[in-house]
Structure 1
């Protein structure tokens, strides 16, 4: 990776972390430099204390304090310097941790917004980004602030040592030559292990999410044992790579400490000659040498940490640039509008003229679509899987914008371009999909979820009755009956009927049913269809279905063929009423 690419990754990371993370990071850097000040004070007070008790001879004068006083006063001064040093270390540790937490909170909030607003993201990818990628990226960013603080501390310590003794410090620096080849060797291993950790963990997440969703298939088709073995192999790969990383990253921090011990021994052996004029100075100098190599070891350790987390930071930067940035403004707009009270329309119809839409990278899309959904009419959309029925629903709902053509909303207030009145259109609509959205809570909370205004118990019971949810009244707890997140204790059909009740409770003027009766038995389906039939005239109904029974209420049928061509024909209901059959678009 080039330096410009690396700088782009860092800029992206610091921007993603937000102002709170940057403020805490600045405190972390500042307290790192402040730690040097108290380290130096600690060294000087240690020297004064040793002189005061006669352990060493020489001068230990300090500005403002003068010559050493009694052992008791010097001991108190030494303890005070130690406490200030410890307090600074504590503040540095807290601010570094706060930097990481602020980064995690900010990035996870952005990931949550993006994944919910986009709606097309693989759950395995969201889990990886939300967990490992964010956690390790936060560690890299917080460590980078800590690293800068330690570099400043290292530089200040080196200057202090040079002031004490230029020749001795120069000899100490020569020992650092031995660190370079060893660190380069270790860095190569750490980089390879870090990349393997990230790749293996991402694979584990993706495969696990896929396996959880398809657990029944794995059991029935005899793939459970093989899937577990494959998962175990990926986890073992992650474990081995992690052990390799921690082994070599720890060695990177140990090597400077070993060199430092050797330096202290050599200085101590020659100290009587170098510091002959004031042997007490040797105490402070040796302490600062030890702190120099300890800080160097910390720098080596944190650079290994940054290198270890670098692959995750790159993934996060790529996500920000390729996925978040293009939709960031749209997400903020959606969040703003979703919090506002928006009035819907009393009556809506929709007209699509010459509409084209293709997903990025798709082989084909919808082309030259001309459709009409009259106010209060019922339209059924049919066709094989994968030809664009869901895409058509997204276009009708203005959740995506056509590449070409126009979609017009007809209301009592006039006609509007659909995307211009998107939020009013959505406030008018209700949706029931094939996989009901169930929340962990009571039936009352389930029904109230997504309502624009509060509903009375009477209204809830009326909606439940229209959706033929008699099983709720039979449960004993009624509206207080608790549902788990997965709808445990309810059949798929019961969950779907509850979702239909929730949609009816919204009193919509546009009702979108996406395979909403797919899990119902024949009798329940007919009962629900009868309820939907009664809504015609006031509610515009658009239903995607593979079930013949639903087509009985259709005024028109939109047919997709296997090539994606679309035809709109008169439905059974229109023919039965004997109304003139208009010339539908092809």
Structure 2
């Protein structure tokens, strides 16, 4: 029960309301559907097709044709309205679930530390959440159908208990074959997901390494591998669709057969009244249909449960990561950074780097170098507060209480990949900048970085919206990133492999600009290249 409780609580308050609404609609649906036994009898009596003495109608029920036509029309309208509400609720519940969980993943991915598996986050965000939403939709369907099935079984027992008991026993004989079919459906579902993952991974890896595949002549092999996975997916979907269709239709077919046998026995051997048999006939059909839909929904639940459980596991793991400490930013006039015996890493028992001592003031340029895996990025993240220190102290302006998060207004950052948002050139350059920067200042900075003419040649210049990578080259986009960092007038400039993906000419232009700008700030650079050697006055070599 605790397992089911955890799943239910995972839905959240908003989703629980929609689940309850589905439960309520199930009850109303039963009420409308079961009322048809009286509406049908009243309509047949108004047409003189049935004797009112044999009908199961209360004395106050109207029997004239006009009133019964209005009642029948009202029944049709109410039933259609319920179908619309049920379908709308299904679709909307799925989309609410997707919105709520993607919003939570987005928040946790950006507001928590030590979130390293970006590929897993993207996969869960785009695929797993969608599959898990199907579980929620089928859970609502299952809840709706099982409520209706139970209520129809109760009213069937109250109308004709002997016939109902025999009918339910007959349907129960389907349990074993339906269980076998359900196992096949689950197996088909797992194979579907496996074949989809293979084809998706093949395409993703091939696109990432397209040049390698072309040079090695392996394109055709990868196409064949992906095509085989898609063919397997198609075959599995064929089997899945067939077995699912049988699971859905078999109870209804067998239910009709059982109904005919029971009605015959009831009339010939038990002398059951015709009006009771008519009511039982309709009610048992609806019962068997609801039971069939319940079985079908349950099969879908088992099929999509893996994705739902996977999402719960992922969100529990990401929730266990510490949240980023957010403090009010301060505009420092100057900063001094001291590192005293820093130990950095992810495991206190196995620090990646230890005994780091630094003393940085304005105009200092620290160049951090080292082999891959030596801890360069780990040290940088620790100094910026992204990873908790395993030991030692980081002093800012000789104060232990100041954390890097308070310096966000005076930090400039450029990473290995240019980060541009879907917005104008101006807004990209002033992204996160709280200073009042004039267009004149912007043009001066663009000129320093040799990109002024490129921006002036854009149709709308600074108001040009950057739609995709085609408008600017990688080097031009990276120069935009450098301009954005320098326009913040930072007291600390962090360069994390900032020139790793640009050509020598662009790197030289950036270095000459930094040579002039660095006197007003502390620069900390991580780089494999030798371009920053001429700027650095302090070096840290990690081994």
- Give TM-score, length-normalised by structure 1: 0.85
Per the alignment, residue 380 of structure 1 pairs with 367
How big is each residue's C-alpha offset from its partner over 1:325-359, in whole Å with a ceiling of 9 and x where there is no partner?
203x616x66xx6xxx7333222222222222333
Instruction: Give the whole-Å Cα distance in 2 for the aligned partners of 1:264 and 1:431.
Output: 75
CA-CA distance at 1:454 after TM superposition = 5.5
Instruction: Give the whole-Å Cα distance in 1 for the aligned partners of 2:332 and 2:197.
Output: 46
1:415 is aligned, of 387, 391, 399, to: 399
Residues 332-351 of structure 1 correspond to what in structure 2 (within 5 A)? 342-351=329-338
Per the alignment, residue 48 of structure 2 pairs with 54
Instruction: Give the whole-Å Cα distance in 2 for the aligned partners of 1:180 and 1:133.
Output: 31
1:269 is aligned, of 264, 267, 270, to: 264
Asked if 1:492 is matched to 2:479, the reply is: no
Per the alignment, residue 541 of structure 1 pairs with 523
Per the alignment, residue 45 of structure 1 pairs with 39
2:406 is aligned, of 414, 424, 431, to: 424
Instruction: Give the whole-Å Cα distance in 2 for the aligned partners of 1:116 and 1:517.
Output: 25
Asked if 1:282 is matched to 2:277, the reply is: yes
2:346 is aligned, of 356, 359, 381, to: 359
CA-CA distance at 1:159 after TM superposition = 1.0
Instruction: Give the whole-Å Cα distance in 1 for the aligned partners of 2:528 and 2:372.
Output: 10
Instruction: Give the whole-Å Cα distance in 1 for the aligned partners of 2:423 and 2:260.
Output: 68
SS in 1 for 2:189: helix
Per the alignment, residue 480 of structure 1 pairs with 463
CA-CA distance at 1:120 after TM superposition = 4.9
Per the alignment, residue 313 of structure 1 pairs with 308
Instruction: Give the whole-Å Cα distance in 1 for the aligned partners of 2:5 and 2:213.
Output: 44
Per the alignment, residue 572 of structure 1 pairs with none
Per the alignment, residue 514 of structure 2 pairs with 532
CA-CA distance at 1:255 after TM superposition = 1.3
Aligned 8 A contact 2:135 2:304 in 1: yes
Aligned 8 A contact 1:154 1:292 in 2: yes
Instruction: Give the whole-Å Cα distance in 1 for the aligned partners of 2:244 and 2:508.
Output: 67
Instruction: Give the whole-Å Cα distance in 2 for the aligned partners of 1:88 and 1:392.
Output: 61
Asked if 1:113 is matched to 2:125, the reply is: no
Per the alignment, residue 390 of structure 1 pairs with 377
Instruction: Give the whole-Å Cα distance in 1 for the aligned partners of 2:215 and 2:440.
Output: 45
SS in 2 for 1:526: helix
How big is each residue's C-alpha offset from its partner over 1:473-502, in whole Å with a ceiling of 9 and x where there is no partner?
4525322344333x2143322221111111
Aligned 8 A contact 1:125 1:205 in 2: no
Aligned 8 A contact 2:344 2:379 in 1: no
Q: Give the paired residue count.
A: 540
Aligned 8 A contact 1:100 1:139 in 2: yes
CA-CA distance at 1:62 after TM superposition = 3.8
Larger CA deviation: 204-213 vs 300-309: 204-213
How big is each residue's C-alpha offset from its partner over 1:263-298, in whole Å with a ceiling of 9 and x where there is no partner?
232234345447857422322221111100110111
Per the alignment, residue 233 of structure 1 pairs with 228
CA change 1:550–1:389 in 2 (3 A) is same
Instruction: Give the whole-Å Cα distance in 2 for the aligned partners of 1:164 and 1:523.
Output: 89
CA-CA distance at 1:177 after TM superposition = 2.6
- Give TM-score, length-normalised by structure 2: 0.92
Asked if 1:401 is matched to 2:388, the reply is: yes
Instruction: Give the whole-Å Cα distance in 1 for the aligned partners of 2:223 and 2:348.
Output: 33
SS in 1 for 2:417: coil
CA-CA distance at 1:308 after TM superposition = 1.1
Residues 124-135 of structure 1 correspond to what in structure 2 (within 5 A)? 124-135=119-130
Instruction: Give the whole-Å Cα distance in 2 for the aligned partners of 1:149 and 1:474.
Output: 62
SS in 1 for 2:403: helix
Aligned 8 A contact 1:198 1:312 in 2: no
Aligned 8 A contact 2:329 2:407 in 1: no
How big is each residue's C-alpha offset from its partner over 1:215-248, in whole Å with a ceiling of 9 and x where there is no partner?
3333333333222222223333333333322221
Instruction: Give the whole-Å Cα distance in 2 for the aligned partners of 1:482 and 1:182.
Output: 61
Instruction: Give the whole-Å Cα distance in 2 for the aligned partners of 1:266 and 1:542.
Output: 86
Per the alignment, residue 507 of structure 1 pairs with 489
Q: Where does the alignment leave 5 or more consecutive residues of structure 1 unmatched?
A: 562-586
Instruction: Give the whole-Å Cα distance in 1 for the aligned partners of 2:454 and 2:114.
Output: 31
CA-CA distance at 1:437 after TM superposition = 0.9
Aligned 8 A contact 1:123 1:209 in 2: no
How big is each residue's C-alpha offset from its partner over 1:26-51, in whole Å with a ceiling of 9 and x where there is no partner?
10111011111111111211122112
Aligned 8 A contact 2:45 2:63 in 1: no
Asked if 1:34 is matched to 2:17, the reply is: no
Instruction: Give the whole-Å Cα distance in 2 for the aligned partners of 1:452 and 1:389.
Output: 30
Instruction: Give the whole-Å Cα distance in 2 for the aligned partners of 1:263 and 1:423.
Output: 72
Larger CA deviation: 475-484 vs 167-176: 475-484
Q: Alpha carbon RMSD of aligned pairs, Å? A: 2.6
Larger CA deviation: 469-478 vs 156-165: 469-478
Instruction: Give the whole-Å Cα distance in 2 for the aligned partners of 1:284 and 1:453.
Output: 78
CA change 1:177–1:527 in 2 (3 A) is closer
CA change 1:238–1:128 in 2 (3 A) is farther
Q: Where does the alignment leave 5 or more consecutive residues of structure 2 unmatched?
A: none
Per the alignment, residue 566 of structure 1 pairs with none
Instruction: Give the whole-Å Cα distance in 2 for the aligned partners of 1:187 and 1:139.
Output: 17
